[in-house]
Amino acid sequence: MTRVGVLALQGDVREHLAALTELGVDAQAVRRPGELGAVDALILPGGESTAISNLLRAFDLAEPLRARLSDGMPAYGSCAGMILLATEILDAGAEGRAALPLGGIDMAVRRNAFGRQVDSFEADLDFAGLDSPVHAVFIRAPWVERVGPGVQVLATAAGHPVAVRQGQVLATSFHPEVTGDRRIHRLFVEML
């Protein structure tokens, strides 16, 4: 059975583990390099991208995770996870404490693109491959400003990509883990 890890350093860890469990997936929290090595795929949750990046460095997970992604490990990132999966973060933050691009998807992402916490919103989005709209929760959400030639745009909001896929790596700028709609998680599991 495929084991899916959830990066458990900060953010919506519990919600992603619950979504995977509801789908009958063997799910495991990942905090250390050994735990990363024991999973077949990984979810990078929403949270705060700089905090998660700093914890990736502190727990010596940044380079092992970058290597696993480079070797083709399937991954899904929501919100902050989308930011981390990018090849370029347009507003990464201060040197040495910056959000860390892991290079899972050939895209440039802008953090907090929709605005501050008070600008958070919900919207129903058409999502490629799904028969009805996805109710999307955007919390200080990023958007994608550039995608490479191998990247498929699955959904847009305000004229920008907010869901993308490249091979076995999926990313959304919104939080399906908080809605109870498991179609995005199911799509990821079916990609494995």
Is 139 annotated as ligand-binding? yes
**Count of other CB atoms within 10 angstroms of residue 45:** 26
Could you give the residue numbers annotated as active site? 79, 175, 177
Give the separation between CA 75 and CA 172, rounded to whole angstroms: 12
49 is in an annotated binding site: yes
Phi and psi angles of residue 64, each rounded to the nearest 5 degrees, phi first: -60, -40
Does residue 52 have a known ligand-binding role? no
- CA 56 – CA 152 distance, rounded (Å): 27
Judge whether 48 is annotated as a binding position.
Answer: yes
Q: Which amino acid is at 7?
A: L
The CA distance from 187 to 183, in Å, is: 6
Instruction: Quote the tokens at residue 106.
Output: 């050939």
Selection from 77, 72, 67 nearest residue 5 by Cα: 77
140 assigned ligand-binding residue: yes
Binding annotation for L-glutamine: 47-49, 111, 139-140
Binding annotation: 47-49, 111, 139-140
